[in-house]
Amino acid sequence: MELVLADNRTFKTKFIEEVPFLPDYEIAVSTAKPFIEANTIETSLKDIQEQHIIPVYVKDNEPVISHAEFIEATHRTLLNVYAGQTFCKPNIRVSHPIKGRVPEARNKPANELNEHEKTIYYERMAFVIEIPSISQEIDGNTLHLVAGGVKSYNLDNLYAKKGALESFKVFIGFQNRVCTNLCVWTDGYMGDLKVNSLGQLTASIKSLFESYNGNLHLHQLQQFSNYSLTEQQFAHLIGRCRMYPHLPKNLQSHISPLLFGDTQLGMVCKDYYKDNSFCRDADGNINLWRLYNLFTGANKTSYIDTFLDRSVNAFTFVNEIRRGLEHRQSNWFLS
């Protein structure tokens, strides 16, 4: 696989022998802007490693694969597949805290607990690792290669024994530096990865990263800027999007799925007029690259467990619109 470097050279990935584990990063976290907002807070790998307890299986008290192990396995694999590149520190967001206390403090009122008497871990975690030395520009926006994943313990059966399948979501794609929107498509995404060991998880991540065709992904994204919607077409599209969830199931089954709800569609409408980077032009037209970024921007309000699925859906949805315009084919959302 070849990708475009920042200096326009091509880069071919090659898996090499094991690299040093988690060496010092060359640069800090890429941006202060969150890639997801909703109800999440920012944390660091160090905090997860040192402050968060690790859930266990109830029947045998054996630990599950921790958030830290997931991030470390992804980073180690990136270092190997993309050896020699520049990496940023993981940008990590967590939500749904599970609080506890040590036994010695079981009878204390909550407002009297000392910090060392509290325990915590987070049910849901999402992270991205940016590779700024692999980049491309689309419609004046710089994109950097990124990879990451999502872990939600609520998807696991923690009442089982060690060896039960654990669920993960892993992706590799690009991030728009203008807005930190993630650009993810189906060929760079494992949305229902189930493994029962860290070794299986690492092998699956490696397989995804090695098979990812970054050039094809970029080509698809670049095509978006070649097609536009008029204001009337955009209004019709949004109206159809709002109708979609209420269609009879037999009609929905013949239409490409749309995972965005009224909250996100309202943000798309607002930003069509007001977004500084991706709003309509002076004539009311909007190209599909900007439309795509309106959807990925609205997706930042999604919860962690639906975030990546909606990211992929945004690409699939806009690409279907592009195909309809390119081949003059009927598309329910535009017809």
Going by the DSSP 8-state scheme, the letter that residue 64 receives in this structure is -
| DSSP 3-state of 118 | strand
> Over the chain, what is the mean pLDDT?
90
**Distant-in-sequence, close-in-space partners of 40: CB < 8 Å, separation ≥ 6:** 34, 93, 94, 95, 126, 304
Overall average pLDDT of the 135-153 stretch: 96
> Where are any strands of DSSP class E within 103-256?
118-138, 141-152, 166-176, 182-183, 189-195, 228-229
pLDDT for residue 29: 54
| DSSP 3-state of 79 | helix
The H or E element spanning position 268 is helix 262-274
Per DSSP, what are the bridge partners of residue 145?
131, 174
Structure tokens at 4: 């475009």
Instruction: Spell out a b/e string for 191-220, using b for 16 or more CB atoms within 10 Å of the CB, else e.
Output: eebebeeeeebbebbbebbeebebeebbeb
Alpha-carbon dihedral sign for residues 127, 28, 130, 199: negative
Contact present, 143 and 16 (Cβ < 8 Å): no
The fraction of the chain above a pLDDT of 70, given in percent, is 90
Structure tokens at 36: 């997801």
Measured between alpha carbons, how far is 33 from 127 in angstroms, rounded to an integer? 13
Contact present, 159 and 278 (Cβ < 8 Å): no
Measured between alpha carbons, how far is 90 from 175 in angstroms, rounded to an integer? 14
Residue 2: band (very low, low, confident or very high) from pLDDT cuts 50, 70, 90: low
Going by the DSSP 8-state scheme, the letter that residue 155 receives in this structure is G
Going by the DSSP 8-state scheme, the letter that residue 284 receives in this structure is S
Taking CA atoms, 171 is separated from 84, 124, 309, 312, in Å, by 21, 16, 10, 10
**Widest Cα–Cα separation across the chain:** 70
pLDDT for residue 207: 97
**Span 267-299, pLDDT tens digits:** 999 999 999 999 999 999 999 999 999 999 999
Measured between alpha carbons, how far is 224 from 177 in angstroms, rounded to an integer? 17
pLDDT for residue 321: 96
Overall average pLDDT of the 235-251 stretch: 96
**Distant-in-sequence, close-in-space partners of 25: CB < 8 Å, separation ≥ 6:** 87, 88, 89
